């Protein structure tokens, strides 16, 4: 067997029935039994002898970097480590997005319900696998959620030898080499920013065909991690190479990933229409239909509005395969004052005072061109006032006629703001409850239509639309009236 085995906690080892957005369910509090969650929401990726057919994009990047350095590597399913790990295995590398369940989405959902998230449950379960201790494996953890494991007491309790925070293609490879040589490992190491020419191409397929087209962001929002500030794009030939790896493995979907897909190839903050259209044309030639996308930005939408229509026409949306173009995007706040204070470049090339107008007009343009934004808001940004929250409520209400989803999240100290106090359910004011209610009403207004268009097969409709969404709606509606009045429905329920 292999000297190095890579894996990820269970919630990352699923394609969520082909819908990346359902992956947010990993951040949900554990309410339904684990077996039901696995069956309905999070079925496992295929595996043979413990080796997975598909793996998270970040795991595949580390695998590729290790393979290029000549290491013997296997990527295993977390439920089947015993089939892959043997006496020759020395190191276990683990990818996690949210190991302790304290990321923005998790802290919000679990905070409201007072229960641990599935991601945290699965991460702890993975590290408790007896085969790790039985074989004396060194454990190295990385991924977007690695920052949660900085505390030595946490690492000691979980049995983690080293945590790599940030990019890993340079740094993590060095740590794996140290582990194989029996050298002592640092408890925490910051990953070096990897130049674009050194980012390796994946050698094996990713879950849902995710392909990284750019890394970083460059807008410099204070609540983001430093590595997101260094923006660089991968060459089209390297992108197509990874597209083919996934197609050759039998995947019929490709998802292009970047913090802002619309800025692919741009030299500055303004999208380069020609570069973006060229990329999508090449991808369409390769896949035969086009690709899904992960993220975009409202400022980019309004900076080059013709690009939205151009991409819709290029991918011939809507069609039998793709009902709309969807992506994750940040509203964050309806307050120009907070935009000015914490994320001035987020609205560039526009001015902070234009932010509400930019968001509304972008939604209208997207709605008219069959784009569906899945947006986030941040409650409890440092310095937030009652007036700031009211402005955000008003902005959400202005979006009621635009097909979209809006997810409010608690502020979590990251980036420049890492010393600030996290926002919790106990910090919620009546205005925050009204904001939460406005988001819930907006989402309930659109969720059935989106589900009908997204889940086309009978199985998906029954299991996801009727069961999952039905449970969500039935669970939320009894509390909605209290939230609209600015009341804490959980507190009121406990009092009665």
CATH of the domain at 44: 3.40.50.280
Mind listing the pLDDT tens digit for each residue in 182-211? 999 999 999 999 999 999 999 999 999 999
DSSP secondary structure letters along 261-289:
GGGTT-SSSS--HHHHHHHHHHHHHHHSS
Is residue 433 included in any domain, yes or no? no
- Note whether 108 and 222 are same-domain residues: no
Enter the pTM of the model.
0.94
- Note whether 16 and 136 are same-domain residues: yes
Mean pLDDT value of segment 457-479: 61
Confidence of residue 226 (pLDDT cuts 50, 70, 90): low
Range of the domain at 394: 209-423
Mean pLDDT value of segment 402-422: 92
User: Do residues 128 and 15 make contact, with C-beta atoms less than 8 angstroms apart?
Assistant: no
Select from 278, 268, 270, 165 the least CA-distant residue to 213: 278
The answer, yes or no, to whether residue 441 has pLDDT greater than 80, is yes
Is 342 exposed, middle or buried (CB count within 10 Å of its CB: 0-12, 13-18, 19+)? buried
DSSP secondary structure letters along 29-94:
BS-S-HHHHHHHT-PBPPEETTEESSB-HHHHHHHHHHHHTT--EEEB-GGGGGGT--TT--EEEE
Select from 343, 446, 438 the least CA-distant residue to 395: 438
Mean pLDDT value of segment 159-172: 96
Percent of the chain scoring above 90 in pLDDT: 78
Is residue 434 included in any domain, yes or no? no
Find the angle CA(109)-CA(148)-CA(73) to the nearest 5 degrees. Answer: 110
The answer, yes or no, to whether residue 344 has pLDDT greater than 60, is yes
φ/ψ of 375, rounded to 5, equals -100, 155
Select from 370, 299, 256 the least CA-distant residue to 20: 256
- Note whether 8 and 78 are same-domain residues: yes
Mind listing the pLDDT tens digit for each residue in 241-261? 999 999 999 998 999 999 999
Select from 490, 492, 494 the least CA-distant residue to 109: 490
Cα gap 105→148, rounded to integer Å: 14
Cα gap 207→213, rounded to integer Å: 16
- Note whether 294 and 376 are same-domain residues: yes
Mind listing the pLDDT tens digit for each residue in 65-92? 999 999 999 999 999 999 999 999 999 9
What is the three-class DSSP state of 338?
Answer: helix
DSSP secondary structure letters along 430-446:
HHHHHHHHHHHHHHHHH
Position 205 scores a pLDDT of: 98
Confidence of residue 27 (pLDDT cuts 50, 70, 90): confident
Position 470 scores a pLDDT of: 59
Show which of 371, 390, 423 is a domain's final residue: 423
Pairing status of strand 232-233 against strand 214-215: antiparallel
CATH of the domain at 301: 3.80.30.20
Confidence of residue 17 (pLDDT cuts 50, 70, 90): confident
- Note whether 126 and 174 are same-domain residues: yes
Which of 130-144, 391-405, 448-462 shows the lowest mean pLDDT across its residues? 448-462
Position 154 scores a pLDDT of: 97
Position 275 scores a pLDDT of: 98
Domain count, the chain: 2
Mind listing the pLDDT tens digit for each residue in 85-96? 999 999 999 999
Position 36 scores a pLDDT of: 86
User: Do residues 52 and 46 make contact, with C-beta atoms less than 8 angstroms apart?
Assistant: yes
Is residue 204 included in any domain, yes or no? no
Mind listing the pLDDT tens digit for each residue in 270-300? 999 999 999 999 999 999 999 999 999 999 9
Find the angle CA(179)-CA(183)-CA(185) to the nearest 5 degrees. Answer: 70
Element (H or E) spanning 7, and its range?
strand 4-8
Is residue 439 included in any domain, yes or no? no
Is residue 468 included in any domain, yes or no? no
Mean pLDDT value of segment 474-496: 75
Mean pLDDT value of segment 333-340: 98
Position 496 scores a pLDDT of: 42
Position 495 scores a pLDDT of: 47
Is residue 463 included in any domain, yes or no? no
The answer, yes or no, to whether residue 21 has pLDDT greater than 80, is no
Mean pLDDT value of segment 110-126: 91
- Note whether 265 and 414 are same-domain residues: yes
- Note whether 216 and 178 are same-domain residues: no
- Note whether 224 and 174 are same-domain residues: no
Mean pLDDT value of segment 342-350: 95
Confidence of residue 465 (pLDDT cuts 50, 70, 90): low
Name the CA radius of gyration of the chain, rounded.
Answer: 22
Mean pLDDT value of segment 47-55: 98
Q: How many CB atoms lie within 10 A of CB 468?
A: 18
Mean pLDDT value of segment 347-371: 98
């Amino acid at each position: 067997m292999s000297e190095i085995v890579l894996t990820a906690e269970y919630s990352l080892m699923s394609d969520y029935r082909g819908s990346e957005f359902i992956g947010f369910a990993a951040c949900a509090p554990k309410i339904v039994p684990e077996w039901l969650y696995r069956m309905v929401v999070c079925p496992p990726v295929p595996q043979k002898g413990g080796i997975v057919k598909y793996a998270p994009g970040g795991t595949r990047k580390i695998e590729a970097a290790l393979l290029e350095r000549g290491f013997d590597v296997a990527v295993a399913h977390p439920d089947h480590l015993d089939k892959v790990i043997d006496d020759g295995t020395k190191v276990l590398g683990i990818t996690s997005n949210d190991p302790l369940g304290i990321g923005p989405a998790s802290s919000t959902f679990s905070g409201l319900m007072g229960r641990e998230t599935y991601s945290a449950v699965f991460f702890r379960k993975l590290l408790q696998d007896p085969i790790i201790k039985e074989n004396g494996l060194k454990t190295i953890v990385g991924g977007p959620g690695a920052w949660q494991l900085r505390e030595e007491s946490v690492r000691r309790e979980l049995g983690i030898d080293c945590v790599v925070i940030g990019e890993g293609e340079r740094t993590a490879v060095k740590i794996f080499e140290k582990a194989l040589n029996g050298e002592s490992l640092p408890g925490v190491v910051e990953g070096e920013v990897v130049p674009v020419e050194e980012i390796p191409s994946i050698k094996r397929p990713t879950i849902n065909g995710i392909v990284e087209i750019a890394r970083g962001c460059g807008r410099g929002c204070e609540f983001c991690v430093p590595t997101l500030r260094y923006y660089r794009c991968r060459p089209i030939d390297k992108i197509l190479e990874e597209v083919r790896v996934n197609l050759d493995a039998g995947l019929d979907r490709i998802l292009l990933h970047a913090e802002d897909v619309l800025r692919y190839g741009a030299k500055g903050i303004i999208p380069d229409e020609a570069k973006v259209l060229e990329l999508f044309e090449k991808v369409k030639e390769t896949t035969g239909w086009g690709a899904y996308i992960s993220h975009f930005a409202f400022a980019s939408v309004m900076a080059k509005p013709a690009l939205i229509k151009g991409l819709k026409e290029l991918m011939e949306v809507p069609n039998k395969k793709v009902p709309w173009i969807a992506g994750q995007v940040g509203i964050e706040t309806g307050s120009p004052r907070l935009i000015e204070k914490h994320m001035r470049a987020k609205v560039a090339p526009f001015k902070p005072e234009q932010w509400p107008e930019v968001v509304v007009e972008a939604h209208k343009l997207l709605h008219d061109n069959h784009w569906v934004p899945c947006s986030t808001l941040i409650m409890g940004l440092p310095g937030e006032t009652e007036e700031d929250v009211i402005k955000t409520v008003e902005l959400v209400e202005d979006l009621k006629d635009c097909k979209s989803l809006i997810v409010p999240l608690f502020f979590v100290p990251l980036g420049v703001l890492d010393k600030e106090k996290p926002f919790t359910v106990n910090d919620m004011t009546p205005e925050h409850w009204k904001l939460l209610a406005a988001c819930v009403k907006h989402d309930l207004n659109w969720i059935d239509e989106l589900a009908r268009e997204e889940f086309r097969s009978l199985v998906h409709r029954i299991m996801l639309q009727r069961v999952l969404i039905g449970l969500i709606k039935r669970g939320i509606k009894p509390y909605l009236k209290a939230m609209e009045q600015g009341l804490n429905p959980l507190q009121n329920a406990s009092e009665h």
